[in-house]
A and B are shown apart, each in its own frame.
Chain A
Amino acid sequence: DTAVSQTPKYLVTQMGNDKSIKCEQNLGHDTMYWYKQDSKKFLKIMFSYNNKELIINETVPNRFSPKSPDKAHLNLHINSLELGDSAVYFCASSLQTTGGNQPQHFGDGTRLSIL
């Protein structure tokens, strides 16, 4: 019973292409996030949505566009992929955005490789 699931797990594509990563959570959480983990394993938040509303947009290039059709889904669309976009992208969710008792649950990531 996967709590936060991402697809695909691996994505290999050419520079300049457009791709999407999907995320779904079955925890009944209100808030969802996208994080990027670089080759040195550094994790940085990109976006968060609370009940389909954008809360955090962490100075990510416009080529990245999150879309939340409902509070259980947060997809990430990336236009004109660049070499520097190669990374592991993690989706996460939490019950609320505030309050320390709302841990964030992470998916297993999507490894994006740009050729």
Chain B
Amino acid sequence: QQQVKQSPQSLIVQKGGIPIINCAYENTAFDYFPWYQQFPGKGPALLIAIRPDVSEKKEGRFTISFNKSAKQFSLHIMDSQPGDSATYFCAALSWGGKLIFGQGTELSVKP
């Protein structure tokens, strides 16, 4: 119940494509769902986040879609660029500030 399941494990798209990363959770007590971006040798950096009372949030080229009834949420990257190549993690906030992370998706955007 404390898990967040993320797919796919890896993703390759051409420049300009729209990669989509999906996550699912079980615990309805989660109330905050951030996405983190991690480059090699660096720590995860917050990209965008959403609360479950909102169905969509957009920041620049990044959009989160949230389906509360299905307990699923996804990240879409519009007009993807080679500089977006990184590992992406979805997460859910649990009690005490504990972030439960998905397994990560390694995205490669080909020029």
- Residues on A close to B: CB < 8 A? 4, 31, 33, 35, 40-45, 48, 50, 55-56, 58, 90, 92, 94, 96-100, 102-109
Contact = CB atoms under 8 A, between A and B. Distances in A.
B34 A103 contact: yes
Of B51, B96, B104, B106, most buried by chain A (CB within 10 Å of CB) is B96
B104 A48 contact: no
A58 to B, nearest CB: 7
Given A43-B101, A43-B104, A100-B93, 5 more contacts: A44-B101, A45-B99, A56-B98, A94-B97, A104-B46
Contacts, number: 66
Contact of B43 (A97, A100, A108): A108
Contacts of B89: 43
B74 interface: no
Nearest to A32: B97
A97 B101 contact: no
Interface in B57-71: none
A100 B32 contact: yes
Contact of A48 (B46, B49, B87, B96): B96
29 contacts: A4-B43, A35-B99, A41-B38, A41-B103, A41-B104, A41-B106, A42-B103, A42-B104, A44-B101, A48-B98, A55-B96, A55-B97, A56-B96, A56-B97, A92-B43, A97-B97, A98-B96, A99-B32, A100-B31, A100-B32, A100-B49, A103-B46, A103-B49, A104-B46, A106-B36, A107-B43, A108-B42, A109-B41, A109-B43
